[in-house]
Structure 1
């Protein structure tokens, strides 16, 4: 089965770029010969059928869950990128319904989307203007116009989805865990017992290469700095991991969040001499 999976991935790396090249030709007004088009479509169809057959074999035959079976067939970076896009689109629905994701009963919630809203909405407006302009300019080329229109509309949804993800995925504080999030691509859980100190520290510049430090800026700023007694693992967008011992984040009401974290840490391990 391992050889079959490797073979399918190798075929996919050949077929998908070829399909993309055909799309580019069609956008440029060049129509390849009919046999070439038929062969390309047949190759894509056969690849999809083979992938479906292996998926069913892994799911039904080897007892894997559907998620595990997909993970065996699709490279992790591709799977994580697809998951990120789906979370953005789902965030739009949650935002419209005024609901939030990942907030448990009793959790304290701290929003962090306010200071980047103007920037994202401004960028979204520019994308809308660009969509209208490109639709007018590409009118004489229907295929190219359709492709660019789809990309432009998706770009607008992507930008608005970034804001929606920030709104619907706030920082949360439970009895023993502080959960810090950034849009739909960062989600770090920090046990309160690992927080050595928490302080209000407004920063507008951050060194991305600073070892062991995770910066989660909003509108290019962070306002809270957390120093940890033990590192926590941060997972990147494409699945890469690294250990961090200092986390800087931002909240709309940073001082209120700092007070809540301090109270939660005190309740978890009260100072000596005081009753628990």
Structure 2
């Protein structure tokens, strides 16, 4: 991938989390159509994000006092500190406004503003509650696993009958047969996905097979 392409994708990512801040303030969600179900996952990181935001604000105030006699340096540092606070809040805003989405045809799994994996319901072989701490992505038996963790853990595992293509932040494409992601209410998400499969003529018994 060229440097220009990578920079464009990073700029697009920055635009998405900035937009998420506005939608967060407006208490709206992005990409959830009427009739679709939003599946939240931001709760697990909320305490960490707000704690980090508090630390950043305290640092901003402290540096403002220390650099009061150096206006140029003060303005530069203030800009960087405010940007850092917005970026930290943007992490939470993106997770809140861009939930996982269950539609009639597919399950869309999101990692804030960073990535999205679309899984047709007809390709789901099994879905289950499965609390795991994340680790480096592994390959096994020719099947690749994609993880979308929150707070260092995932709580739902989806196994597929056919692979799907997942695109990373910088554009790397990978073929996956198993996706692990976090949901605030893993059991409710599993039940909802199974109901969606059943509505399409799938069998919940097959979905429970691990």
TM-score greater than 0.5 by the shorter chain: yes
Structure 1 gap segments, 5+ residues each? 1-73, 272-276
| In 1, Cα distance between equivalents of 2:87 and 2:126 | 36
- Provide the alpha-carbon RMSD of the alignment: 1.5
| In 2, Cα distance between equivalents of 1:103 and 1:183 | 14
> Is residue 226 of structure 1 aligned with residue 155 of structure 2?
no
1:207 to 135, 138, 141: 135
SS of the residue 2:146 aligns to: strand
> Is residue 260 of structure 1 aligned with residue 189 of structure 2?
no
SS of the residue 1:83 aligns to: helix
Q: Which of structure 1's runs of 4+ aligned residues deviate more than 4 A? A: none
Contact 2:137–2:147 (CA under 8 A) maintained in structure 1: no
2:9 to 77, 80, 100: 80
Residue equivalent to 1:101: 30
Task: Please identify the structure whose Cα radius of gyration is greater.
Answer: 1
2:49 to 116, 120, 132: 120
Structure 2 gap segments, 5+ residues each? 204-210
SS of the residue 1:207 aligns to: coil
User: How far off its partner does 1:177 sit?
Assistant: 0.3
More helix by share: 1
**CA deviation string 1:19-39 (max 9, x = no partner):** xxxxxxxxxxxxxxxxxxxxx
**CA deviation string 1:30-74 (max 9, x = no partner):** xxxxxxxxxxxxxxxxxxxxxxxxxxxxxxxxxxxxxxxxxxxx8
SS of the residue 2:125 aligns to: strand
The one of the two structures with greater contact order (alpha-carbon pairs below 8 A, sep at least 6) is: 2
More strand by share: 2
| In 1, Cα distance between equivalents of 2:194 and 2:137 | 29
| In 1, Cα distance between equivalents of 2:66 and 2:177 | 52
